[in-house]
Amino acid sequence: SLVTITFSEAVSGFTNADLTIANGTLSAVSSSDGGITWTATFTPTASITDTTNLITLDNTGVADLVGNAGSGTTDSNNYAVDTVRPTATIVVADTALRIGETSLVTITFSEAVSGFTNADLTIANGTLSAVSSSDGGITWTATFTPSASINDTTNLITLDNTGIADLAGNAGSGTTDSNNYAIDTVRPTATIVLADTTLAAGETSLVTITFSEAVSGFTNADLTIANGTLTAVSSSDGGITWTATFTPTVGVSDPSNVITLNNTGVADLAGNTG
């Protein structure tokens, strides 16, 4: 800012040493009219928020052209300084999202900001409803919806701080990441294999049901068995591979038989049903 010091008459001996500068620096004072009007440029200190600031002149350090020194001090008009850039935190409320779920996202700034829109955000593996604030621009919320058919444990929402500014016009700098959130919106699938596909009287067959990922809730009640019975399914690898023994019904001759799984009865560890 331009600073102008105007004396009642021409003075000599006036330098920056006669001035006390609050929260900033001043370039060297100079006069182009013989010593009555002096000017300089004020530069505020970085990272300061202060609404009450003055430049104070010690009048005893200056004298008019016949040698009369000033007395006391003179204060400038007040000036406010805000050189603090806004910062932000981003919190995704639900950090483990599955099919059908959404999450509240809260972006909280260190002070009220303007110019903030979804265009300032990069969203990993999902979409965000329009951000909005109900407290004047400090706290903003939106709803995150994960993309379909995604299995990714590492995801962030990233804010480009340079797109926002506080009410004094200070733009943010750099980027801010949210907390991490995991997404699993992939439904489990399965394959069913009978080891022996031509069964005679007295024979049995190993049946292997292999899921695309570990599942829970899987029992024989989820299976329809054609022309035979199945021992209880069990898994020894945490729920991915399940085995049982098929025993054909006596007195049956049928070349076309299948075991059918109702996928809706099983769910992966995130809770997604087949």
Q: How far apart are CA 249 and CA 245, in angstroms?
A: 13
pLDDT-based confidence at residue 114 (cuts at 50, 70, 90): very high
pLDDT at residue 198, as a whole number:
96
Residue 261: phi, psi to the nearest 5?
-100, 130
- Answer whether 10's CB lies under 8 Å from 36's CB: yes
pLDDT-based confidence at residue 27 (cuts at 50, 70, 90): very high
Tokens coding 4: 């102008």
Share of the chain above pLDDT 70, in %: 100
Residue 264: phi, psi to the nearest 5?
-70, -10
pLDDT at residue 148, as a whole number:
98
pLDDT-based confidence at residue 213 (cuts at 50, 70, 90): very high
pLDDT-based confidence at residue 200 (cuts at 50, 70, 90): very high
pLDDT at residue 187, as a whole number:
97
pLDDT at residue 58, as a whole number:
98
pLDDT at residue 171, as a whole number:
97
Q: How far apart are CA 112 and CA 46, in angstroms?
A: 19
Q: Which residue has the tokens 């951000």?
A: 131
- Answer whether 33's CB lies under 8 Å from 39's CB: no
pLDDT, tens digit, for every residue of 115-132?
999 999 999 999 999 999
Please enumerate, as own/partner, the contacts of 135-138 that have beta carbons within 8 Å and a separation of 24 or more.
Answer: 136/112, 137/109, 137/112, 137/113, 137/167, 138/108, 138/109, 138/111, 138/112, 138/113
pLDDT, tens digit, for every residue of 142-198?
999 999 999 999 999 999 999 999 999 999 999 999 999 999 999 999 999 999 999
pLDDT at residue 52, as a whole number:
98
What pTM was computed for the model? Answer: 0.85
pLDDT, tens digit, for every residue of 97-107?
999 999 999 99
DSSP-assigned letter for residue 130:
P
pLDDT at residue 181, as a whole number:
99
pLDDT-based confidence at residue 274 (cuts at 50, 70, 90): very high
* Exposed / middle / buried, residue 207 (Cβ in 10 Å: 0-12, 13-18, 19+): buried
pLDDT, tens digit, for every residue of 222-269?
999 999 999 999 999 999 999 999 999 999 999 999 999 999 999 999
pLDDT at residue 191, as a whole number:
99
pLDDT at residue 12, as a whole number:
94
| Straight-line distance from the first to the last Cα atom of the chain, in angstroms, rounded to the nearest whole number | 67
pLDDT at residue 173, as a whole number:
97
- Answer whether 234's CB lies under 8 Å from 248's CB: no
